[in-house]
A and B are shown apart, each in its own frame.
Chain A
Amino acid sequence: MKFRLRRSGLYVSGTDTKKMVDCGVYGADSVVLDLETSVPTSQKSFARILVKRALKKVNFYDSEVTVRINPIETFGEEDLHEIVQNKLNVVMIPEVSNNKTIKRLDSLLSDLEDERSITHKISIIPLIEDAIGLLSVEKIVEASERIVALTLDADDYLLSISGSRTKNEGELIYAKSKIVSVAKAYGCQAIDSVFLDENDDEGLYKESLAAKRMGFDGKRIVNPNHIEIVHRVFTPSLESIERAKRIMSEYKKNPDRKYLFLDGEIVRKAEIESAKRLLRGVF
C-alpha cells in the first residue's frame, strides 16, 4: 500500500471552476473535487464532464487528486466512467454502509483501469455516514486493498443516531475512536470530519488538536487559509521523526526482537510499530 501525507484535504465543488484552478497552489496534501453534496442534481452530468476536463488540464501541483463521487447507486457509476484517468489518485465514496459497495467500486475501478491503461492503482477512501456503516467498518476496510484511509461524516452520522453536535464533540468520541482504531489496525490512515466554519481559526485549531490526540492523521477543510493550521497540528515534530528513525535503525539490526534499548531506555513493541507508521506517513 502506498502511503503519503494526508494532513489536509481541501474540498472544492465540482462546479466551482475558479477554485478548481486555484486549489493546487495552496499546498494542501489532497484536493477533493466534489461531485456529491455541493453539486445540485440538475448539474450532475455537466459537473462530471467539468471535473474530467479539469483533471486533464489543471495543474494540481503536488496535491493528491481525490474526487468525491456520488453513492454508487445514485450517479456514482456514471461519475466513475467520466473521471477515471491517470491524473486521478483517489476516489472518495460517500454513504458507505457495507462491504458490497466497496467490492463493487473496486471491481469498477479495475475494469476502467484496464480499459484505459491507467498506470497506477487508484485508491479508495470510504466515507462512513451512519450507524450501520460504523458498525460495519471492519468489513468495509477488508473489502479492498485500495483503501488508504477512513473518514467520518460527523453530521450525517449524528443524524443517523438522532444525536446533535456540540463544540466539544463528546457525542462523537465513540464513532471517531472506532474509525481511528479500525484504520490503524488495518494499516490505513484516519482522516477527521470536515471543518465547515470558514472564519473560525481557533475552533479549527482546537478540533484538529483533539483529533490528532485521538489518533487522526489529518482533517478535511473547505478554506485554503486553514491548510497551514491543519498542517501545524498534524505534522509530527522533528524530534519525533528523529526518534522514530533512530528506533528503526536499532530495530533493523535485529528485527526479531520485541523490544530494544535506546539511550539506556527500553523501547517496547508498541513504540516500534508507532515509529514504523510514522515513517510511512501514518501517525
Chain B
Amino acid sequence: MIKKIGESGDVKSKNDVYVKIEPSDKLVIKVETPLFDLFGEKITEEVKEVLDEFNIKKAFVTVIEKNALDFVLQARVEDALRNALGERDEVQT
C-alpha cells in the first residue's frame, strides 16, 4: 500500500533515472525517455516487475530515464517504492 510520495534519483543525472511513486486508485506508469519508441515498453516491463515483487497493484509511477541500465532502473524503482511504503524517509540521489 503506497502511503506517500516516494522518490529516487535525480532528473539531471546522465545514465541514471528519476523515479517518483505516488498513491493512486489505479496503476499508471508514465515513462519519459529519449528513445521511447525503442525502450518505452521494456522500461514499463522492468518497472512492473519490481512492483509485482512488492505486490503493488495501485500506484502512479513517473519515470524520467536518461540511458540508465536495467538494474539501475529497477534499483531506483525499488528505492522510491521503499520510501513510498514508509520504510524510510530519506531521498537518495
Q: Which residues of A contact B (CB under 8 A)?
A: 17-18, 21, 42-43, 45-46, 49-50, 52-54, 56-58
CB distance from A135 to the nearest CB of B (A): 39
Assess the A49–B70 pair: CB atoms within 8 A. Answer: no
Tell me, rounded to whole Å, the shortest Cβ–Cβ distance linking A146 to chain B: 27
B15 and A53 contact, CB distance less than 8 A? no
> Which residues of chain B have C-beta atoms less than 8 A from A17's C-beta?
15-16, 68-69, 71-72
In the assembled complex, the Cα of A162 lies from the Cα of B90 at a distance in Å of 38
Interface of A is mostly: helix
Asked if B88 is at the interface of the complex by the 8 Å CB criterion, the answer is yes
Which residues of the other chain, A, contact B90 by a CB distance below 8 angstroms?
42, 45
In the bound complex, how far is the Cα of B75 from the Cα of A57, in angstroms? 11
Contact with A along B75-93 (1 / 0, CB 8 A): 1001100100000101010
| A49 and B78 within 8 A (CB) | yes
**A50 to B71, Cβ gap below 8 A?**
yes
Provide the B56-70 mask, 1 if CB < 8 A to any CB of A, else 0. Answer: 000000000000111
Residue of B nearest to A54 (CB): B71
- What A residues does B71 contact at CB under 8 A? 17, 50, 53-54, 56-58
- Docked Cα-Cα span, A167 to B83, in Å, equals 47
Check B15 against A57 for contact (C-beta < 8 Å). no
B1-13 near A? 1/0 per residue, CB < 8 Å: 0000000100000
Size category of the binding interface on chain B:
10 to 19
CB neighbours of A56 from chain B (8 A): 71
**B79, A45: Cβ atoms closer than 8 Å:** yes
Complex Cα–Cα for A199 and B7 (A)? 39
Residue among B8, B71, B88 with most chain A CB within 10 A: B71
A18: B residues at CB distance < 8 A: 15
Q: What distance in Å separates the Cβ of A175 from its nearest Cβ neighbour in chain B?
A: 37
Once A42-B92, A43-B92, A45-B92 are accepted as A-B contacts, the answer to whether A50 and B75 lie under 8 Å apart by CB is yes
B residues 26-85 touching A (CB-CB < 8 Å):
68-72, 74-75, 78-79, 82
Q: Which residues of B contact A42 (CB under 8 A)?
A: 90, 92
Q: Nearest Cβ distance between residue B1 and chain A, in whole angstroms? A: 20
CB distance from A18 to the nearest CB of B (A): 7
* Residue pair B69, A49 in contact (C-beta under 8 Å): no
